[in-house]
Chains A and B, each alone.
Chain A
Amino acid sequence: MNISVSVNGDVTVVGFEGNLDTNTAPEAEARLDELASGGGGKILIDFADLDYISSAGLRVLLATAKKLRGAGGNLRLCSLNEMVSEVFEISGFSTIFAVFPTEAEALEGF
């Protein structure tokens, strides 16, 4: 998987490309950990180029959200494909995460 990081105002935008699963989760978690501890506390993860997510990927999101919340920060997610949306629905993640259809909508008022 490829992880891209850019900054938009005080928001760190993270793009995941490829799979977020058992074998990519450690790398993703390490990267997000780094950003969560160093940045301004606002992270937006853009899933536009993510192919699929499994429970290992969900675990990373949950860990990141807990960490950010502990430090007074916040996490938003955007551009979920149909499969990822369904996984969010089934797992109940759609109700515990702030999910936006597009990056622009996610950045608004963040």
Chain B
Amino acid sequence: MIELGTITGGAEGAVRDARRKVHAALERLTADDMLASRIASVTSQIFRAIERGANPGRIIVRFDEAGAQPTFVLDLIGVGGEVDEATAASFFDQVVWVRVGDVPCLRLGLYIHIAPGLELTERRVAELRGVIEQKGRDALMQELTLKNRELQDSFDNLRRTTTAKERMESELNIGRDIQMSMLPLEFPAFPHRTDFTVFATLEPAREVGGDFYDFFLLDEDRFCFCVGDVSGKGVPAALFMAVTKTLIKSRATNDFSPASILTHVNDEISTNNDSAMFVTLWLGILDVTSGALEYTNAGHNPPYLLRHTGEVVRLDERHGPVLGAVDGLVYSEGSGQLERGDVVFVYTDGVTEAMDPDGQLYEEDRLVEVLRASDIDSVESLVRASTDDVWRFQADAEQADDVTVLAVEFSGRPGGSEGVHILELSVANRLEEIDSVNESFEAFAAEHGLPEKVRRSMKLVFDDLLNNVISYAYEDEEEHRIGVRVELSSDRVAVRISDDGHPFNPFGRNAPDTALALGAREIGGLGIHLVQNLMDEVSYTRRTDENVVLLVKYLSNSE
């Protein structure tokens, strides 16, 4: 029996989280997305029933190779709720009730065929564990609370036992420890990825500044990275940084817009910000397939875009003030298109405000010279070249502020965005407009030879989702525009539907009971249920001022 991890309930989004994790794990084991979707969907339904009970549930995920048939085992643990065993039995090969301690547990077993090339090596098990254990927003916040508590304890100890001077030193050390422990320090950070590389360094000043950086993948295609600088120093600054960084990450996991992420983070940290601290931040999201870059600059010094042609471009837009100063602000965002070999170079003012022994500032011009002169053979050498020049300049003067540099290179994938076809439409909120969307889509589908069944399924999706938006999203009688974007690549159709109606998550409702007899059937919610089942991935995001629904249909599963 191989333990793959535990999915915990109790938090907002836990059911969706469970669905996503089970899907991701099964897909990696079987390469059968249809199976993964089905099982993930039924698991989340049962888990939702458990979650409705008084106690939060959890799912232990295991893989059993011991029996005659390799089995994917899910132990759904929790009390309360009504679990539909019959449904479970029609999807799983084993459905049994066991007890774990005092708590009833529904054990679901699924016989699976491990796809060729997906054998359970140690590395694959580690990868699967990573998938299952990936932290949701709630878990991140819990971890942070715990960290804060530990910190408070050691702080209290300190207060009791040391002199003022020692205390000050220790406080700075603790601050630095927190600061450094929050950073991803291992490079290469994504050894298996060839489509982008990232390198970053942070050299703390003796008296800690509040610099930080972070980066992570939002999904297969989107890479999020940021550099920030918190005002102040010591423990308060480190804590403020830890909170900001955690909020960014938890928000970014289901919000793919830099402006929207920073708008929300700013609201959270501005409320109850008694210490009046603030943070300058630059955050970018790079689509590593297409090279599209979206970014928001909140009072941070402008980064540079180093084109593969040698051109050096300053990204000098500002999209709002520093974070933490005023709540209720709406940040905007900029965008750019990277080509292969282009690099985004982000840094903090510790670089440009470094001082030489005579008190002269390093200045931005000198940095630009280094960037121009650098023969970029890797982001690591670029980052090192820039910081080395700062150290040369500084010589034996004391480092006054943290020095942070982060660089990301876009390399793209073989094939890249070739063979990707895009249909982009904007329609008014009138029901007749659904026909025009479907007509445009018909022509697009015919031109690119989309399989019949997929074409028809997509028409249903447009009809049902647009009908929903047009009928229910608006409270006024004004004309609104609805955006529809279809991206067809060799293996998938991806659709994005956006509207500026009031916030509404169409997938937030419970599925209708499709087993009811004719007389008892209610039709409401059926369209959404159809969309969820016909598509392989559905998601909803509330951006700053729009609803965004994303859908993916994989082509390999049909016909």
- 74-94 of chain A: CB within 8 A of chain B: 81-84, 86-87, 90-92
Closest to B558 in A: A82
Indicate whether B515 reaches chain A with its CB closer than 8 angstroms: yes
Known: A22-B463, A81-B456, A87-B534. A92 touches B516 (CB 8 A): yes
Q: Are B529 and A21 closer than 8 Å at their CB atoms?
A: no
Residues of A within 8 A of B514 (CB): 90-92
Closest to A84 in B: B456
- 34-54 of chain A: CB within 8 A of chain B: 51-54
Indicate whether A62 reaches chain B with its CB closer than 8 angstroms: yes
Partner of B534, one of A51, A90, A95, A96: A90
Known: A51-B459, A83-B456. A65 touches B518 (CB 8 A): yes
Against A, the Cβ 8 Å flags (1 = close, 0 = not) of B453-470 are 100110110011011000
Residues of B within 8 A of A54 (CB): 459-460, 463-464, 467, 527, 530
Indicate whether A59 reaches chain B with its CB closer than 8 angstroms: yes
Known: A55-B464, A56-B467, A58-B523. A21 touches B459 (CB 8 A): yes
Q: Are A87 and B434 closer than 8 Å at their CB atoms?
A: no
Interface of B is mostly: helix
Indicate whether A23 reaches chain B with its CB closer than 8 angstroms: yes
Residues of A within 8 A of B453 (CB): 82-83, 86
Q: How far is the CA of A59 from the CA of B526 in the complex (A)?
A: 9
Partner of B517, one of A59, A90, A96: A96
Q: Are A55 and B457 closer than 8 Å at their CB atoms?
A: no
A-B pairs with lowest CB-CB distance, top 8? A92-B514, A55-B527, A83-B456, A54-B463, A52-B456, A21-B463, A90-B533, A54-B460
Contacts A56-B463, A56-B527, A62-B523 supplied; 4 other A-B pairs, CB < 8 Å: A53-B460, A56-B464, A82-B453, A92-B514
Residue positions of B touching A, CB distance < 8 A = 431-432, 434-435, 438, 452-453, 456-457, 459-460, 463-464, 466-467, 514-519, 521, 523, 526-527, 529-530, 533-534
Q: Report 11 cross-chain contacts, Cβ distance below 8 Å, ordered by A residue.
A: A19-B463, A22-B463, A22-B466, A53-B460, A54-B467, A56-B527, A59-B523, A65-B518, A87-B534, A90-B530, A96-B521
